[in-house]
Chain A
């Protein structure tokens, strides 16, 4: 980190400390992890995606408050970081369930029954695409090709990939989680 940037970050922190929003909502462990990532790059802002993922892993999603603090930590304007956050399929700017179910809707999965898989998830969870179950356990989202087309249809539940998914397997996935 250059001296200028250090100063800039320091100034921003002081500004933030006097504003209405609760600051220091980032945990020391999060700040440490973000700083470690930033150390691998020429500029701290290069760690923006990793920083968002570190915080999201802890909290499930990226709130405006989190966004603001991460931006300050990386020496970015909040709007600039929001431009990055909203760009990616896997950064959530709204609350999601404890487990996010991503079903692949790209060509090979679509051909081999992805819609049936989606329908079964919707039916079992009682939600539409993009919604979260009332108990806050599951969010169902579409995702593009997950890189396992030889095992289509493919579903990503949390971080784990499920192959050759049919309606029975949807049931097994959900029963195993609940």
Chain B
């Protein structure tokens, strides 16, 4: 029980069961948070509790959840219907945390949705799932049906005046749908281009109505804050930030996986204790601490705690907190090319810097790896990190894509230069047509 209290998000996820059933969930205090919220608290009380707890968004941006909710117009004059939307479009390379929560403890998410929808007086909620999560969709639908049967959902929840409908929307595979406003366009059945902000979704979101979009893991925290209290939740963090978080790691480590640990756990502890360190014959060269859209960090940053502020100070972002490990036998330039190819493909094409800039970055990186690079290509790449940086596009896809590139140029510059020096003939991209595409398998690390 003591252990369970330290790992609220995963306490029902056991190796010996496929997923937590409704009975499993109820047996560890499931839907108690909902009962407390609906029977004892007003929506504004719930908002205050989540704000005081210090919960921050777990989808990447880290915006304080209670503060996000507080921008929703409340009271009788507020525009209706209001919506709560769950962002379950987990598609960032390296991220696999929300899938665990969706597939293995679906009722936790359902309860989180109901309490959070109550907090903003929403009457309709959608769970937006990426198209590839077939098993997750099936389990969520089952859990929702059970929640309706028990009057946790539907009209007059638990005998109160509050009513909520919840529907699962499955997407069809596009990274940009994870961007809050692009997700709203996708839910409306349109092409998932991001919207201009302001107005923010809390004022004008889905079909122009007040809407909150929260990440899966964020919402899974909410039932526990209500059930066990703000003080208990704040005690869970080890550093600046509060609560626990799913941390993950993949790459050439001994035990790739996910672990629920207190916010503020040092990176070294995650990689060396939980992930078991590097595989035999491989050394740690660097890592992306929060998935594909975060800046590389180096072994010298291993003692940085996994807190929003601390990782930012080190020059990166906590992002989804699922790390991708770069080992010494994988070429960092080729890895950056792989990442930029992903972003170039998944750009929605709405904003010019992103639509045109990312393929250009890919093309330059391919040339460099093919031995057709020039030293001034590095300047062109650096210029792109500014042109595609914050403020020049509607959403954060392009700035995110520049994270690994700008940090690789800083930390792995010698690798770029080594490839460029192989271009002994001085052939540049502008003078010849490169018709032969670079194969990622051609360099070390690409296998």
Contact = CB atoms under 8 A, between A and B. Distances in A.
A150 B446 contact: no
Interface in B15-45: none
Contact of B445 (A76, A89, A91, A111): A111
A88 B172 contact: yes
Interface string B312-330: 0000000000101001001
B174 interface: yes
Interface residues of B, number: 58
Given A87-B191, A116-B447, A108 B131 contact: no
Nearest to B166: A40
A12 B14 CA distance: 53
Interface string A87-116: 111110000000000000111101111111
Interface in B269-321: 288, 292
B256 A89 contact: no
B96 A149 contact: yes
A140 interface: no
Contacts of A156: 132
B357 interface: no
A84 B131 CA distance: 14
A146 B207 contact: no
Contact of A88 (B173, B248, B335): B173
A152 interface: yes
Contacts of B131: 53, 88-90
Nearest to B187: A46
Q: For the side of the interface on A, what is the size category?
A: 35 or more
B91 A150 contact: no
B217 to A, nearest CB: 13
A83 interface: yes
B257 A150 contact: yes
Interface string B140-170: 0000000000000000000000000001011
A112 to B, nearest CB: 7
A123 interface: no
A150 B99 contact: no
Contacts of B169: 40, 49-50
B92 interface: yes
Contact of B189 (A43, A108, A161): A43
A115 B446 contact: yes
Nearest to A53: B172
Contacts of B256: 149-152
A91 B135 CA distance: 19
A49 B95 CA distance: 24
Interface in A63-96: 74, 76, 83-84, 87-91
B172 A52 contact: yes
A95 to B, nearest CB: 17
B133 A107 contact: no
Contact of B258 (A43, A74, A116, A150): A150
B338 interface: yes
Contacts of A108: 93-94, 250-251, 324
A91 B441 contact: no
A144 B130 CA distance: 12
A22 interface: no
Nearest to A42: B207
Contacts of A83: 191
Interface stretch (B227-235, B339-347, B406-414, B423-431): B339-347
Contact of B134 (A42, A113, A149, A159): A159
A146 B175 CA distance: 11
Given A89-B172, A111-B335, A115-B441, A149 B324 contact: yes
Given A106-B338, A107-B335, A148 B99 contact: yes
A149 B94 contact: yes
Contacts of A105: 338
A110 B340 CA distance: 13
A156 B130 CA distance: 14
A145 B350 CA distance: 22
B193 to A, nearest CB: 9
A147 B130 contact: yes
Nearest to A52: B172
A145 B336 CA distance: 15
B90 interface: yes
Given A88-B173, A89-B172, A115-B446, A147 B248 contact: no
Interface in B88-143: 90-96, 98-99, 130-135
A149 B248 contact: yes
A52 B130 CA distance: 15
B364 interface: no
Given A87-B191, A90-B131, A108-B250, A144 B175 contact: yes
Nearest to A80: B190
Nearest to B174: A88
Given A41-B189, A107-B288, A149-B95, 10 more contacts: A49-B172, A52-B172, A53-B170, A83-B191, A88-B171, A90-B132, A106-B292, A111-B252, A147-B91, A148-B96
Ranked 7 nearest A-B pairs via Cβ: A89-B173, A88-B172, A149-B250, A106-B93, A48-B189, A150-B256, A46-B189
7 contacts: A83-B191, A89-B173, A112-B252, A113-B447, A114-B447, A146-B132, A151-B256
